[in-house]
Amino acid sequence: MIQKMKGTYDITDDIAYYQLIEKKILNVSKLFGFTEVRFPHFEASELFHRSVGEDTDIVSKETYDFNDRAGRAVTLRPEGTAGMVRAYIENKLYASPITPQKYFYIGSMFRYERPQKGRFREFRQFGGEAFGSYHPQMDAEVIAYAYTLIKALKLTGINVHINSLGGHESKKLYKEALTTHLSPHIDELCQDCKRRYQTNPLRILDCKVDQDHIAIKEAPKPLDYMTEEDATHFNQVCEYLDTMAIPYTVDHNLVRGLDYYTHTVFEIKVSESLLGSQNTICGGGRYNDLVETLGGPKTPAVGFSFGLERLLVALKASNYKVADDYTHVYMLIMGDAARKLSMSIMHRLRIGGIMCDADFNEKSFKAQFKQSAHKNARFVIIVGDEEVKEETITLKDQQEGKELKVPVDAVYPTIVDLLTKKTSSCDSCNHKGE
């Protein structure tokens, strides 16, 4: 038997959770004025080299790269920001009269990582990206957007970690201070850190192998090397978060694993007891240079992405109840003439927005009735020889425990009437009209 590829998974039983998460994403995005965009799952490899960065783990070890049949270098998208920015430039979205321009996306990303709990090779992200504002209020707004999704899903035990890398000048000063500080310890650090010391020393700060090394614990903090303007930007972001009472922790070692960030960076984490070391459910930050780097006009931007699989684990652990699946009508059918009649009844009901289901295999009424219970049906309609002859069906209202004889022509209005009527026994159940 051919099995699924390592690091991928099939969504079967959990689909209701994914649908719930996606519904909340759509609602919250509306609240914040972000509109959905969809862009390709594969792009020219160069896009990711120039944006995410040659020396990042993602580009150096994790991308799915291949040459297509015409010999073009192609990469399956490992994240959404690069594709979003490419689409922003290519479609001249920057020329929109609406400012800032705010977009979101939901879809699969691909990274060749070592699979473990909360880490897959194909995973799904929900990302939000806002273009066209330098203002610190926009950074806080984007964090509030992410935080509101968490509130909408009623997740608790959440921590927002925030830091700033500053702009070019601050980053340069900080890099110098950090390399000077790390230089006497470089032989004690892991191979990756030795390489990063030459190419991207900031990344040493979030090395999982060396995280407890004294040189990393006592490393200088970016905020101490920041220009006044950049420090003010960061302080204002924090003040805006305070006004919304969004709790956060300033985490001086937070640098993020992608090269395009400037100024604010942030991550949202859940407790390690839920997801182990892969407990970051959302990561993001400002990237004021990326649009220009990729050939567009100078445009500031800030955004984030959630990992949906990790959100799902947090959601399940919080005992969030997704509504039980149900159907309005289940048909019990016996005989050939009854098959035809049931087909026409179901068609009429579905056109009118009533959910119907049936098992077309030859089965006893008893077996079909069992199926109606599995489907959590509010009504059962019985169609046999007698019903066909009398042009009247038997309608059982499972909720009210009543049985009616209903002329075929009156089935649809009768069901609509019963569905919309408030019943004494169950005011809050799912079986309301559509």
Q: Which residues in this chain contact ligand HAM in the complex, by CB under 6 A?
A: 79-81, 111, 113, 118-120, 123, 125, 127, 129, 257-258, 280-285, 303-307, 309-310
Closest to ligand HAM by CB, 104 or 330: 104
Nearest distance, CB of residue 121 and ligand HAM, angstroms? 7
Asked whether the beta carbons of 75 and 64 are under 8 A apart, the reply is yes
Q: Which is nearer to ligand HAM, 85 or 349 (CB)?
A: 85
Q: Which two tokens stand for residue 414?
A: 């009768």
Q: Please, what is the minimum distance in Å from the beta carbon of residue 307 to ligand HAM?
A: 2
Give the DSSP H/E element, type plus range, for residue 139: helix 136-152
Cβ pair 260, 287 in contact under 8 A? yes
The C-alpha atoms of residue 77 and residue 374 are separated, in whole angstroms, by 40
Query: Residue 256, Cα to own-chain centre: how many angstroms?
Result: 19
Q: How far is the CB of 209 from ligand HAM (least distance, A)?
A: 18
> Is 145 or 330 the residue whose CB approaches ligand HAM more closely?
145
Beta carbon of residue 72, minimum distance to ligand HAM (angstroms, whole number) = 23
Measured at CB, which residue is nearest to ligand HAM? 307
Nearer to ligand HAM, 161 or 181 (CB): 161
Instruction: Say how many CA atoms lie within 13 Å of 332 toward its Cβ.
Output: 21
- What Rg, from alpha-carbon coordinates, does the chain have? 28
Query: Apex CA 65: angle with CA 63 and CA 70, to 5°?
Result: 160
CA-to-CA distance for 296 and 88, rounded, in angstroms?
A: 8
130 versus 380: smaller Cβ distance to ligand HAM: 130
CB of 321 to ligand HAM, least distance (A): 24
Give the H or E element holding residue 125.
Answer: strand 122-131
Q: From CA 108, how far away is CA 6, in angstroms rounded? A: 15
User: Cβ 404 to ligand HAM, closest distance in Å?
Assistant: 52
Q: Which lies closer to ligand HAM via its Cβ, residue 143 or residue 226?
A: 143
